[in-house]
Structure 1
Amino acid sequence: MILEAFKYDFFTKAFFASILASIVCGIIGTIIVEKKLVMMSGGIAHTSFGGIGLGYLLGFEPIIGAFLFSIIAAVSISNINRRARTNSDALIGIFWSVGMSLGIFFVSLMEGYPPDMTSYLFGDILTVSDFSMNIMVVANIVVVVSVVFLFNYWKGYLFDEEFSRVLGIPTNFLEYFLFIMIALTIVVLLKVVGIILVIALLTIPPAIAKLFTYDLKNMMILSIIIGVIFTVSGLFISYAFDIASGATIILLSAISYFLIAFIKGRIFNI
């Protein structure tokens, strides 16, 4: 039954999409977890919903709108937080709610029946398009190349930003570039797990990897492997039982995390 699924073009696309998503997720997810940018990433992801709604309203590809809104949100949150010194959590919450509201507002302005945006909220990897696949390939190339060639800079930026700045490492550039990569990663994950579940796939594989190693490079590699296992397994399960793919992937990931953490004694101080 599993091999028969590859006879269908949509399943083959979904299979490769799950691998591409896991690669970019494992790398950027590790950076997000280590830099403690989980909440900000959630805010960026939910703000992207406004871009999806705008794309539907103006008739262009919603993924492009999501990417633009994600970048605007990331850069704006960073700049406002630095200059105004406001509470970052409050700022993220504002962008989070405004982005979701704008998405609903733009769709409500459309004539006729509104489009079904469920796949963008909860993901549906079985409906991934050729355009989304191309975006995934580009995102993977950008992320992998930038992290590999600037690995030592990223390492310094993550573990001691002030010292890195003293050494002359362009930390401001790295920060903005990181936000762009987060935006790209979120766009990649929209069709896989959706806006609502994106944070789980960004954080659970790195969290599991951290149970086994604290080395940054090994964490990234292990996160990618774990992500591939979860996304591919979730894809097959969702196909076999005709259930939601995004939710299946996340539930499988979360259950695995708690089981592994329990076995390793990281829960309940065993």
Structure 2
Amino acid sequence: MDFFTEIFQYSFLANAVIASLLAAFACGIVGTYIVVRRLVFLSGGITHSSFGGIGIAYYLGLDPILGAAVFAVLSAFGIEMLSGKGSIREDSAIGILWSVGMAVGVIFVFLTPGYAPNLMSFLFGNILLVTTDNIVILAAFDVVLLAAMVIFYRAIIYTALDGEYAASRGVRVRLVNLAMLTMIALAIVLNIKVVGIVLLVSLLTLPAVTASQFCRSYKSIMVWSVVIAVFSILAALAVSNSIDVPAGALAVIVLANLFFVTKCVKKIATFAKKQIGR
């Protein structure tokens, strides 16, 4: 109970809880599209290439999150354009931008005059350092994301499930895909402080993969992804507050265990159903 009482006593802990809820909402919605479209590797490429923007922003004296956002969106568009024209395979384009982005980030960080910034907070996150400004920006993004899902839900779900069918129904598939890639890139950048670059892919994919074990519709997977992400991050925050370990890493461990449990339960249920049917 100490954790829940301390939320109202310490502003940094209250900010962490609010940020975790907003992050879970964004990652649950965007993550569902990533899993259904099988864009996990692409999201990993965007996540790691965004570090290049962080390094350049540090070198130029700008906000590192702004630099990461620009770099992430450009990386997403670059991957889509290169693979879409057939000039290079998608996995190759992702691998190139992934490695180049990380390399550019490291170089520019160490070229920055004066004290080199602590890279650990970007690589592995620290949700306790989330500020009010971060929360406002993340909340605004969640509102835009929710509005886009409500207004363009049918086009998004058609594109996610079957691009050719969506095109036959008059959906501008390429435009929808570029818009969703932009949302993915922004969701990645705005949640870097929650779990960091290295662990962010897990927060984007594990909730949706876990929800898909017992959900059949796109909407139900999306809703349960948000619920699972919220539970995992809040549980991680509560535990990390007691044993003093990074909440982001703990959230991934909680998510992995939830996936393992649901997978086992599903297999047991399937086995039991077969036995009853004999």
Shorter chain as normaliser: what TM range? over 0.9
The corresponding residue for 1:231 is 233
Distance 1:233 1:219 in 2: 21
Q: Which runs of 5+ in 1 are unaligned?
A: none
Alpha-carbon separation, structure 2, partners of 1:65 and 1:79: 21
Per-residue deviation, 1:88: 1.2
Aligned 1:1-20 pairs, distance under 5 A:
1-6=2-7, 7-20=9-22
Deviation at 1:133, TM superposition (A): 1.3
Pairing partner for 2:185 from 183, 186, 209: 183
TM value normalised by structure 2: 0.93
What are structure 2's unaligned runs of at least 5 residues?
273-278
Q: Does 1:101 align with 2:115?
A: no
Distance 1:122 1:266, change over 3 A: farther
2:39 is aligned to: 37
Aligned equivalents of 2:95 and 2:238: distance in 1? 35
Contact 1:261 1:267 in 2 (8 A): no
What percent identity do the matched residue pairs reach? Answer: 36
Q: Which string of whole-angstrom CA distances, capped at 9 and with x for unpartnered residues, describes residues 24-75 of structure 1? A: 1111100100000000000000010011111211111111111100000000
Correspondence list, 1:241-256, <5 A:
241-256=243-258
Task: Give the RMSD, CA atoms, in angstroms.
Answer: 1.6
- 1:74 matched to 2:76: yes
Task: Provide the C-alpha distance between the structure 2 equivalents of 1:204 and 1:192, rounded to a whole number of angstroms.
Answer: 15
From the CA coordinates, give the structure whose radius of gyration is larger: 2
AA aligned to 1:123 is: G
Cα distance between partner residues in 2 of 1:267 and 1:121: 39
The answer to whether the 8 Å contact 1:156/1:164 transfers is yes
Instruction: Name the structure 1 match of 2:26.
Output: 24
Partner Cα distance (1:268, 1:121) in 2: 40
Within 1, Cα distance between the matches of 2:268 and 2:187? 29
Q: Identify which of 52, 55, 74 aligns with 1:53.
A: 55
Q: Which residue identity is paired with 2:68?
A: A
CA distance 1:234–1:111, shift in 2 (3 Å): same
Aligned to 2:263: 261
Give per-residue Cα distances to partners, 1:98-148, cap 9 Å, x unaligned.
Answer: 000011011111122200011110111111122221221121011111011
Q: 1:267 to 1:31 in 2, by over 3 A?
A: farther
Give the one of 204, 207, 211 matched to 1:205.
207
Which runs of structure 2 are paired with 1:88-167 in the superposition (5 Å)? 88-167=90-169
SS at match of 1:265: helix
Tell me the matched-pair count: 270
Conserved? CA contact 1:49–1:66, under 8 Å: yes
The DSSP-based 3-state class of the residue aligned with 2:165 is helix
Identify if the C-alpha distance between structure 1 residues 113 and 141 changes in structure 2 by more than 3 Å, giving closer, same or farther. Answer: same
> Hey, what's the Cα distance between the residues in 1 that align with 2:36 and 2:255?
19
- Residues 62 and 97 of structure 1, relative CA distance in 2, 3 Å threshold: same
SS at match of 1:191: helix
Number of the residue aligned with 2:223: 221
Cα distance in 2 for partners of 1:129, 1:61 equals: 14
Q: Which runs of 4+ in 1 moved over 4 A?
A: 266-270
Letter in 1 for 2:6: A
In 1, the alpha carbon distance for the partners of 2:36 and 2:271 equals: 22
**Cα offset, 1:269, TM superposition:** 8.0
Q: Equivalent residue of 1:112, what SS?
A: coil
2:69·2:186 contact (CA, 8 Å) conserved in 1? yes
